């Protein structure tokens, strides 16, 4: 079996963030993310980054695991940094501000959803009254993304074993295009079969699961602390500037 | 006389592109029977199975499950009575965990939480997968997925179990374990496959489907002993191959030669 890069790989650890009620955790960390995104000052944004890293440290998720995933985010932030710092309305400081905030927000994803199993996250979203269609879409994306990547790898293996190499040429590009087309067709066919399987077991548009969440005082206290920090970050900005 | 649980009359189905999949099929299946539906690839086996719980429906013909037609007003009850296990367990198992997947049917049927938990535990015990509740489908082997796919149906306690190619992609050990598991299930069974070994071990009655039609319907023993019949419908090697093998020859004459 292939090893997949799963976000909930460290859901089994135990830490103050792991044993936090999923609903309280989602709301509190989301507040913090919004607050960090709104910060207009680079120095305060750095404090936000430190808070994000502290939460990862408290959650005991290995930094190496986080960096491995951040690689892709950094590949996205870096060009943005270069472009913004070169524009007249931007400049290095503005570019750094955007980059630090983006990085902090993404880092906070790890303590937020990396500290519980993915199905728990889904149940928490459901309990928080997130639109059901959206929850189902996220759930199915996560369930089938590995099935589709496996399918893509099988097709690529079959091409490679018949002498195909990924070069930059019209031929290679048209083959890759056809490959992607096939993947879409297969996904569509699978979606129909999955839908049949769901309907066969009484699906009528809503997915229900059994959930037993319990909100304790400690959960509320943790959420209150984090939300207070989130508010403070922006209040400080008002006084500094 | 045993109760007639499935009654199919003159059912045809044509795909959107005009290709006929099944043509005028009529057959009856009785309570407690184990029926094998065999036939070559593309014979219409899966299409026929999809008619049994009303996912597909025929314009002219009718499918009755214990006297009720597979129409909209009956569909809920019919889908509770007829449990359909699909060929690819990745289609059958769509929830993030084994527990949620096995609980999906019972929850939709409106059982109380306690009853749902009881049913999940029983179904997993039945297929020998106790302790797998928290696992994700993409961490399971094909054999494990197949067992859990069956559990997702057993938790709804159907009267009729309809299974499409249960032994596809299984190694011999997993295959024979699955056959033993299916043998132990008491409900009426309809099993589509071209795995004759499995059908011979599991079913007392066999139906051959070819080019969308029922071409034979008899006891499994008499169908399996009729080599000419099996060969005619792509279920046994052609005579020229058998003959060449019995001569000990490596040279199999070409179909035209």
Q: What confidence tens digit (pLDDT) does each residue in B3-56 have?
A: 999 999 999 999 888 888 999 999 999 999 999 999 998 899 999 999 999 999
Contact B95 A143 (CB under 8 A): yes
| A102 shares its domain with A149 | no
Euclidean distance between the first and final Cα of chain A, in Å?
A: 55
The answer to whether residue A233 is domain-embedded is: yes
- What token pair was written down for A190? 């699978």
What ipTM does this complex have?
0.86
Cα Rg for chain B, rounded, in angstroms?
A: 20
Nearest CA in chain A to B86: A197
Any idea which residue has 């290995």 for tokens? A62
Contact A26, A124 (CB under 8 A): yes
Residue A205 contacts B where some CB pair is shorter than 8 Å: no
Mean pLDDT, chain B, rounded, equals: 91
Tell me: the pLDDT tens digits for A134-179? 999 999 998 898 888 888 889 889 988 888 877 788 888 888 899 8
CB–CB contact A196 B90 (8 Å): no
A173-186: b or e for each residue (b if 16 or more CB lie within 10 Å)? eeeeeeeeeeeeee
By C-alpha distance, the chain A residue nearest B154 is: A201
- Name the residue ranges covered by the structural domains of chain B: 4-225
Q: Indicate the SS3 state at residue B216.
A: strand
Residue B240 DSSP SS3:
helix
Structural domain contains residue A2:
no
Please indicate if any CB of chain A lies within 8 Å of the CB of B107.
yes
pLDDT of residue A2: 54
Tokens of A211: 């959930």
**Partner A contacted by B105 (CB < 8 A):** yes
User: pLDDT band at residue B256, thresholds of 50, 70 and 90?
Assistant: low
Structure confidence at residue A97 (pLDDT): 94
Cβ B100–A119 below 8 Å, yes or no? yes
Q: A232 with A194, same domain?
A: no
Whether residue B248 has pLDDT greater than 60: yes
* Co-location of A130 and A112 in the same domain: no
In the structure encoding, which two tokens stand for residue B184, read together? 């132990």
Same domain, A94 and A52: yes
pLDDT tens digits along B119-134: 999 999 999 999 999 9
Describe the crossing of helices A217-240 and A22-38 by its angle, rounded to 10 degrees. Answer: 0
| A75 and A134 together in one domain | no
Q: Quick check: B95 contacting A, CB < 8 Å? A: yes
* Judgement on whether residues A83 and A135 belong to the same structural domain of the protein: no
Question: Interior CA angle at B160 toward B155 and B163, to 5°?
Answer: 80
Q: Would you call B116 an interface residue with chain A, using a CB distance cutoff of 8 Å?
A: yes
C-alpha torsion angle, residues B169, B175, B178, B182 (rounded to 10)? 100
Chain B positions in Cβ-Cβ contact with residue A200 (cut-off 8 Å): 53, 55, 79, 83-84, 86
Indicate if A72 and A186 belong to the same structural domain.
no
Judging contacts by C-beta atoms under 8 Å, the chain A residues touching residue B137 are 143
Q: Do B94 and A143 touch (CB under 8 A)?
A: yes
Least Cα separation, residue A10 to chain B (angstroms): 14
pLDDT at A241: 64
Contact B79 A207 (CB under 8 A): no
Q: What is the domain count for chain A?
A: 2
With bands split at pLDDT 50, 70 and 90, how would you rate the model's confidence at B145? very high
Query: Percent of chain B scored above 70 by pLDDT?
Result: 98
Long-range contacts of the stretch B73-79 (C-beta < 8 A, 24+)? B76/A202, B78/B53, B78/B54, B79/A199, B79/A200, B79/A201, B79/A202, B79/B53, B79/B54
Whether residue B193 has pLDDT greater than 90? yes
Instruction: Let me know: does B99 contact B133? Beta carbons within 8 Å.
Output: yes
Kindly provide the b/e burial profile for residues B83-119, where b requires at least 16 CB atoms within 10 angstroms of the residue's own CB. bbbbbbbbbbbbbbbbbbbbbbbbbbbebeeeebbeb
Question: Is residue A176 included in any domain, yes or no?
Answer: yes
Q: Quote the CATH superfamily of domain B4-225.
A: P-loop containing nucleotide triphosphate hydrolases (3.40.50.300)
Q: Nearest Cβ partner of A209 from B91, B100, B139? A: B100
pLDDT in tens, A6-48: 888 899 899 999 999 999 999 999 999 999 999 999 999 999 9
Q: For residue A161, give its domain range.
A: 126-200
Within this chain, do residues A93 and A52 fall inside the same structural domain, yes or no? yes
* DSSP output for A65-78: HHHHHHHHHHHHHH
User: Per residue in B91-123, pLDDT tens?
Assistant: 999 999 999 999 999 999 999 999 999 999 999
Q: Answer whether A193 sits within 8 Å of B79, measured CB to CB.
A: no
Residue A6 lies in a domain: no
Check whether residue A110 and residue A46 sit in a common domain. Answer: yes
> Which chain A residues touch B95 with a CB distance below 8 Å?
119, 139, 143, 207, 209
């Amino acid at each position: 079996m292939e090893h997949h890069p799963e976000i909930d790989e460290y859901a089994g650890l135990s830490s103050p963030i792991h044993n936090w009620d999923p609903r309280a955790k989602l709301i509190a960390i989301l507040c913090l993310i919004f607050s960090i995104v709104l910060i207009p000052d680079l120095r305060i944004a750095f404090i936000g980054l430190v808070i994000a890293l502290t939460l990862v440290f408290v959650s005991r998720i290995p930094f190496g695991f986080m960096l491995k995933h951040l690689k892709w985010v950094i590949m996205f932030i870096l060009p943005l940094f270069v472009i913004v710092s070169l524009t007249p309305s931007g400049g290095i400081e503005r570019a750094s501000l955007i980059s630090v905030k983006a990085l902090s927000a993404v880092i906070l994803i790890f303590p937020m959803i990396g500290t519980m199993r993915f199905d728990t996250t889904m149940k928490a979203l459901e309990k928080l009254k997130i639109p059901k269609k959206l929850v189902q879409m996220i759930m199915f994306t996560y369930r089938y993304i590995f099935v589709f990547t496996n399918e893509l790898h099988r097709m690529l293996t079959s091409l490679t074993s018949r002498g195909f190499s990924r070069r930059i040429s019209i031929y290679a590009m048209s083959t890759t295009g056809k490959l992607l087309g096939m993947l879409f067709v297969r996904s569509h066919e699978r979606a129909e079969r999955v839908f049949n399987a769901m309907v066969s077991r009484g699906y009528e548009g809503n997915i229900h699961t059994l959930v037993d969440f319990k909100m304790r005082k400690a959960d509320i206290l943790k959420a209150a602390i984090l939300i207070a920090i989130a508010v403070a970050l922006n209040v400080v900005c008002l006084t500094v500037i | 006389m045993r109760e007639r649980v499935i009654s199919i009359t003159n059912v045809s189905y044509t795909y959107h592109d005009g290709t006929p999949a099944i043509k005028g099929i009529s057959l009856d299946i009785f309570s407690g029977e184990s029926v094998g539906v065999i036939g070559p690839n593309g014979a219409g086996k899966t299409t026929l199975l999809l008619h049994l719980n009303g996912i597909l429906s025929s314009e002219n013909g009718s499918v009755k499950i214990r006297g009720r037609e597979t129409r909209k007003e009956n569909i809920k009850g019919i889908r509770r009575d007829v449990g359909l296990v699909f060929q690819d367990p990745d289609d059958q198992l769509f929830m993030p965990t084994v527990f949620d997947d096995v609980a999906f049917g019972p929850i939709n049927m409106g059982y109380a939480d306690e009853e749902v938990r009881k049913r999940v535990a029983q179904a997993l015990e039945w297929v020998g997968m106790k302790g797998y509740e928290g696992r994700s489908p993409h961490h399971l082997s094909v054999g494990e997925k197949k067992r859990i796919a069956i559990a997702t149906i057993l938790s709804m306690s159907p009267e009729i179990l309809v299974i499409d190619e249960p032994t596809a992609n299984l190694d011999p050990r997993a295959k024979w374990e699955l056959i033993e598991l299916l043998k132990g299930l008491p409900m009426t069974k309809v099993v589509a496959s071209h795995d004759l070994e499995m059908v011979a071990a599991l079913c007392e009655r066999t139906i051959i489907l070819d080019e969308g039609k029922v071409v034979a319907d008899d006891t499994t023993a008499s169908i399996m002993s009729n080599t000419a019949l099996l060969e005619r419908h792509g279920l046994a090697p052609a005579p020229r191959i058998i003959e060449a093998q019995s001569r000990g020859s490596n040279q199999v004459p070409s179909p035209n030669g």
